[in-house]
Amino acid sequence: MPSLTLSIQNVDRLPDGGPLQITIKGQRGLDIGRDQYLDWTLPDPGRIVSSRHCEVRFRDGAYWLHDVSSNGTFVNGSELRMSGPHRLKDGDRLEIGHYIIGASVDSEAASEIAPEAAMPSFSRPEEMWDSASPAPPIPASELRPSRPAAEQNDLMNWYVDIPELDEPARRNEPAWLPPDRSAAPAAPPPVPPPASNAEAPGFEALPPMTAPLLAPRGDWSIHPIPDAPEPAQPAPEPVPLGGYMTSPPAAILAAKAVRPAAAAVATPPEPLPAAPPPSVKASPAQPSAQAQIGNQLAARMARGAGVSEDIFNRRSPEEMAELAGLLLRITCENVKQMLQARAETKGLVRSTNQTMIQALENNPLKFSPTVEDALRIMFGPSTTSYLDARRALEDSFKDLKTHQMNTYSAMQQALKMVVQDLDPAVIEAATDKEGGLGGLMGSRKAKLWDHFVTRWKAKTERHDNGLVDAFMLYFSECYDRLASKLRS
């Protein structure tokens, strides 16, 4: 049965205590929005999430997401909102308001919905023509070309492999063919007049056609088998066409006369050879342009870092760009870990000053599930829900610095509050006020000890870990008081 699981990845708890994950199975649908009566409620004080923001419906064996909101639903980091139904796939990332939701699809029903077609069986051969089912598929083995059988080296195969007399000449002959070429006479062709020999040089080299090649196929006693290929030796000569006619046709003579003129006309003009020099001059411009871009990159990096350009000119632009990206990732990754440790420390001391996600200007380093997501938001298109890269880093370092100062100040104040009631001078002053028998020397020490024990129990008995819990309680109060003072 197919199932769909949606999980919030950038929030560890919801303000109303609702679930961070929901799973549906089968053909069940899902309504998501801000209203409490929906299947999955996403609280949003800023009202960016609509009361009924989106819905999931099962159709065609898959889960489809439909956007019915006013502010839009964004899929997989797209800058544009959904314009139509989207088929949910495993690993999709949805942005609903300030919530980042991951989708996990388990489509086990694919094999059940589309089982492999089985070969229909028929009890009688004639039933296959009466069946309304489609024809069975042809096996793949029958579609492959069969391996050619080995040829038998008999006499007839040797005769079939003998090339025809005019086969080599046919490759070199012009498009015009003599009308009687297919029915060439078996007798030797007539000797052309001297004028034809002048037109076709090398004509005397044409060997006379021998009768054995034109003999009937059944008569093989005229010429032995090993001597048969000998007439094909003069085949590469390109002039055998002249032997089939007494004089060349007028069309060929006209073509010979026209071709030199056409070649002269088709000769490229003289200015064309001068074209290559510009390409040769343009090629050295590419390194200079790249060098100029590298210098600009180094100048901008130096200006942004507030240092001299000579520091970055010692490395290539490619190396500097890769190093800058690596340093950026290391910085964001460590800052994100420190912010996470800060949040865990606040929860450990039970501080009420917790950073909650808001409708506007959230820090992606605090609420993004991974560093990649934080970088995508920081350097992606600007939005009102999250801070850009510069403000995100400035806000992070400011919060970390404030947390360090508040921590040490709260520790000092909390320790002072713990030992304030246990100070011997304070206990002695409180004991002297009682008077009476407290003025006697023997009973005075006992009275002081009794006051110390009473105050110690008052601080430790109401906590499980004694004085440690008392210190943590005072620390939480002092830390919240300092944080509120800085905000105001």
Cα–Cα dist 464/468, whole Å: 9
Long-range pairs for 70-73: beta carbons < 8 A, 24 or more residues apart: 71/97
Backbone angles phi, psi at 263, to 5 degrees: -65, -35
3-112: CATH topology is Tumour Suppressor Smad4 (2.60.200)
Cα–Cα dist 321/304, whole Å: 14
pTM for this prediction: 0.44
* Burial bucket for residue 49 (CB in 10 Å: 0-12, 13-18, 19+): buried
The per-residue pLDDT string of the chain (488 residues; one tens digit each, 9 = 90 and over) reads 889 999 999 888 888 888 999 999 988 999 999 998 899 999 988 888 999 999 999 999 999 999 999 889 999 988 889 989 999 999 999 999 989 999 999 876 444 444 444 444 444 554 555 545 555 555 554 544 444 444 444 444 444 445 555 544 444 545 455 544 444 444 555 555 554 444 444 444 455 554 444 444 444 444 455 555 555 555 555 444 444 444 444 444 444 444 444 444 445 555 555 555 555 444 444 556 777 777 788 888 888 888 888 888 788 888 888 999 999 999 999 999 999 999 888 888 777 777 888 888 999 999 999 999 999 999 998 889 999 999 999 999 999 999 999 899 989 998 888 888 788 888 888 777 665 544 555 577 888 888 888 888 888 888 788 888 888 888 888 988 888 887 77
The token duo for 272 is 């064309």
The bridge status of strand 30-33 relative to strand 40-41 is parallel
CB contact at 8 A, 77 and 103: no
Cα–Cα dist 31/48, whole Å: 17
